[in-house]
Structure 1
């Protein structure tokens, strides 16, 4: 029974879909290049005509605190997560005119909500979207973007950024801490969303 519970936790937190043709690719704000690299790969495969990275910086840091991973490749003087993610996208083959702009969000719910404002202002009808996020952030990111786009079908195409996976998260203290912290955030933030 205990092993089954752990398996269900993993299945819930680490959601993932096969990518397919969509109207847009979303990349929630972060300081890792991997999610934007994945978005660029999917763009180059022709799966969506545009990408919308989102983010100013983390509300807890109060500024863009620098690139986490591959800093030698992505070494610009970035002021926002959006600037950083746009640079990653462009260096990986996404043309500038295919990158939309959202550079005010400071946490994940704002990433989704402010992205909705951008697509609405552009007159875009988003029937199907790809969401490129951190793998153990997938459920919460999906929850927020689905709330902001209730009429949209989302395909979650996540990346592992720190070697924590659905298969191994329960084998290290770091994995356990990260995944259980994510579950707490999902529950507490979902409660707040239900009250609105």
Structure 2
């Protein structure tokens, strides 16, 4: 039986909403193809009109880290998360006209706010949106995208890229580090934008 603290952290971090049709799917940066593969599936099934992959190179590194899984399928000379995600989307049946990339950001906050810049520049009307992200990244993504798009109604659809789930994160050192790290970053990054968000 889980203690209440584990249960409460799990409920907070691992957002998982019911699937529904939206105007756009946002893809915060990453190097696992499972994220854009799932987004492509949802696009093909008619769940969204546009997909917005995001991110250049992480601020933690000076170059793109490479494909984390299925490198035998996705073997391009990628230089950014956005470039990689775009290739995965195209290879999985998403037309180029539906992909609107953002390739300058280096962390999650900028994934959200620079995606807003791209959407505004394109003149797209987005009233509803979905975030497809790593499962343990869900709360922070939702928080930051909601701040960047305060008038948009969001849902989150998580992808399990690291085998870190709501049910097992507290059983491994890596899971604990990642989830508690997310908890800390949610607080730190919320402080940066809360005053603007509440205006």
TM-score interval, smaller chain: over 0.9
Q: Which residue of 2 aligns with 1:56?
A: 56
> What secondary structure sits across from 2:37 in the alignment?
helix
1:125-147 deviation digits (Å, cap 9, x = unpaired): 21100100000000001111000
1:98-139 deviation digits (Å, cap 9, x = unpaired): 111211111111110110011111111211001000000000
Shift in Å, 1:93: 1.0
Alignment of 1:121-136 (within 5 A): 121-136=121-136
Alignment of 1:16-95 (within 5 A): 16-95=16-95
Structure 1 unaligned regions, length at least 5 = none
Q: Which residue of 2 aligns with 1:111?
A: 111
Equivalent-residue separation in structure 2 for 1:191 and 1:148 (angstroms) = 14
> What secondary structure sits across from 1:157 in the alignment?
strand
Shift in Å, 1:195: 5.4
> What secondary structure sits across from 1:73 in the alignment?
coil
Equivalent-residue separation in structure 2 for 1:185 and 1:55 (angstroms) = 18
Shift in Å, 1:62: 2.0
Q: TM-score, normalised by structure 2?
A: 0.95
Q: Which residue of 2 aligns with 1:6?
A: 6
Q: Which residue of 1 aligns with 2:194?
A: 194
RMSD: 1.4
> What secondary structure sits across from 1:174 in the alignment?
helix
> What secondary structure sits across from 1:26 in the alignment?
strand
Shift in Å, 1:2: 7.2
Structure 2 unaligned regions, length at least 5 = none
Q: TM-score, normalised by structure 1?
A: 0.96
1:20-39 deviation digits (Å, cap 9, x = unpaired): 11101100111111111110
| Higher mean displacement: 133-142 or 177-186 | 177-186
